[in-house]
Amino acid sequence: MGKTSPRIVLCPKCGAAVRWEAESRFRPFCSARCKGMDLGAWANDEYRVAAEAPPELPDHISPPYDE
């Protein structure tokens, strides 16, 4: 046994096992797709839309009943 086993980490995006070694260029992500998607979600639409989306409004606004 001359080689030590690589450490295994889990991809933060999809949970796949990733070897923590030089070959795994996208670590801790399992792939470029996981790495890119994660950054994209933050930098682009998802974050912004969530922050700017107006609260849900009812179809019609009922005035308070005058009793």
In the complex, the residues that contact Zn ion under the rule CB under 5 A are: 11, 13-14, 16, 30, 34
> What count of other Cβ atoms lies within 10 Å of the Cβ of residue 30?
21
The residue (of 8 and 48) whose beta carbon lies closer to Zn ion is 8
The residue (of 46 and 48) whose beta carbon lies closer to Zn ion is 46
DSSP SS3 for 8 = strand
The residue (of 10 and 48) whose beta carbon lies closer to Zn ion is 10
Residue with token string 């995006």: 13
Shortest spacing between CB 29 and Zn ion, in angstroms: 5
Cis peptide before 28 (omega within 30 of 0): yes
